[in-house]
Amino acid sequence: MIIQSVELVALPDAPAYQEKIYRAHLDTGEDVDLFQQHWDVPLPPESLVGLTPAEARRKRAEKMLAAAGVH
């Protein structure tokens, strides 16, 4: 399962902190909601193309920990 494209999708009636999610379109034809957008940890959707969903989640976690100053 490889990510072919990712888009930010607005969730209807969601609170402001859950406003958008990263929705991945996989090479299997499936769509997977990866994680919520965080304003303080910008992650371009196109940077996740070619990764597996697990790799994309790991990349996001690493970026969030780096922003928080945790090594």
Mean per-residue pLDDT for 24-42? 91
Predicted confidence at residue 71, as pLDDT, reads 60
Q: CA 70, CA 7: separation in Å to the nearest integer?
A: 28
Domain that holds residue 15: 3-68
Which pLDDT band holds residue 19 (cuts at 50, 70, 90)? confident
Query: Six-digit token pair at 70?
Result: 């945790």
Share of the chain above pLDDT 90, in %: 65
Q: For residues 47 and 37, which has the higher predicted lDDT (pLDDT)?
A: 47
- Structural domain count of the chain: 1
The pTM of this model reads 0.84
Share of the chain above pLDDT 70, in %: 99
